[in-house]
Amino acid sequence: MARIKLMFISAALLLICAGSAQAAVQVGKDAPEFTLSSIEGTEVSLADLKGKVVILEWFNRECPYVKKHYRNGDMQALQREAVQDGMVWLTIDSTNQGHRSYTSPADFKTLVADLGLGSSAVLTDANGSVGRAYGAKTTPHMFIIDEDGKLIYQGAIDDNSSSHGDPKDAKNFVRSAIAQLKKGEPVSVSESKPYGCSVKYAN
C-alpha cells in the first residue's frame, strides 16, 4: 500500500511539473520578457518594444494549418496590415534543431522570400524557452501584447479549426482585435482555444 501511495504521489508531482512547465500566460497580466535572435542575426527584446502593440505568431513551415493561412497570402496580408498600423509582428519558430521541420536561419531567409512574409522579424527559439514561457501549444498560436506590455489576446487566429477551407470565410480573432485596438476599444474576444500542429519542442 505504501508503495502504491508513493507511486501515486510521484505521478501527481510529474503531472504538476509538466503542467507548470507549459502553463499558459494570463490575459491582463504582464507578458513574459524575452530576447531572441532574428534570422538576420539581430537581437529582438520585448522590453525594447514597450509603447508598441506586439503580435506573436508561432510558426512551423511543415504544419498544414500554417500552410492553410499562408497558401493564398492571408497571413501575409494580415502581417502587413498590422505593421502598416505601427504594430510589431514577430513570427517565432520554436522547432527544435533535431526535428525534420527545423529551419535554419539561412534557409528561413529563402522561405521568407518565397512566402512573402510581412512580419517585422522572424525569430528562432530552438531551445523552446520562449514558447514554453508563453505556453505556446500549436502552430499557429497567437498572442497580442499591448503598449504597456500586458497580454490582451491569446489563442487561435480564427474560428475555423480545420486544416482546410478558406481563411477568408472564418472569423479572424487577430484582425478583429487589431480593428478594436485602432478604435481604442477593448478586445471583445481576448481568449480562444488554439488549434494546429503541436509545437515541436526539444525533450
Task: Give pTM, 2 decimals.
Answer: 0.88
How are the residues of the chain apportioned to helix, strand and coil, as percentages rounded to the nearest 5?
35, 20, 45
Separate counts of helices (H) and strands (E) for the chain: 6, 9
**Cα 137 to chain centroid, rounded:** 8
Is there a domain that residue 83 lies in?
yes
Which element (helix H / strand E) includes 8?
A: helix 2-21
Is the pLDDT at 17 greater than 80? The verdict is no
Is there a domain that residue 203 lies in?
no
Is there a domain that residue 20 lies in?
no
**Mean pLDDT on 95-117:** 95
Positive/negative CA dihedral, 80, 57, 185, 160: positive
Is the pLDDT at 187 greater than 90? The verdict is yes
Is there a domain that residue 127 lies in?
yes
Whole-number Cα distances in Å, 109 to 12, 32, 114, 169: 44, 27, 9, 30
- Give the pLDDT confidence of 144-181 residue by residue, as tens digits: 999 999 999 999 999 999 998 899 999 999 999 999 99
**Mean pLDDT on 135-150:** 97
Tell which residue, 51, 52, 27, has the closest CA to residue 152: 27
**Mean pLDDT on 125-138:** 97
Is there a domain that residue 46 lies in?
yes
Is there a domain that residue 186 lies in?
yes
Is there a domain that residue 87 lies in?
yes
Residue 24 has what pLDDT? Answer: 67
Cα–Cα–Cα angle for 128, 138, 79, rounded to 5 degrees: 95
- Read off the CATH number of the domain in which 137 is found: 3.40.30.10
Domain containing residue 108: 28-198
Q: What percent of the chain has pLDDT over 70?
A: 88
**Mean pLDDT on 73-81:** 97
Give the three-class secondary structure for 187.
coil
Per the structure, the count of domains in the chain is 1
Is the pLDDT at 3 greater than 70? The verdict is no
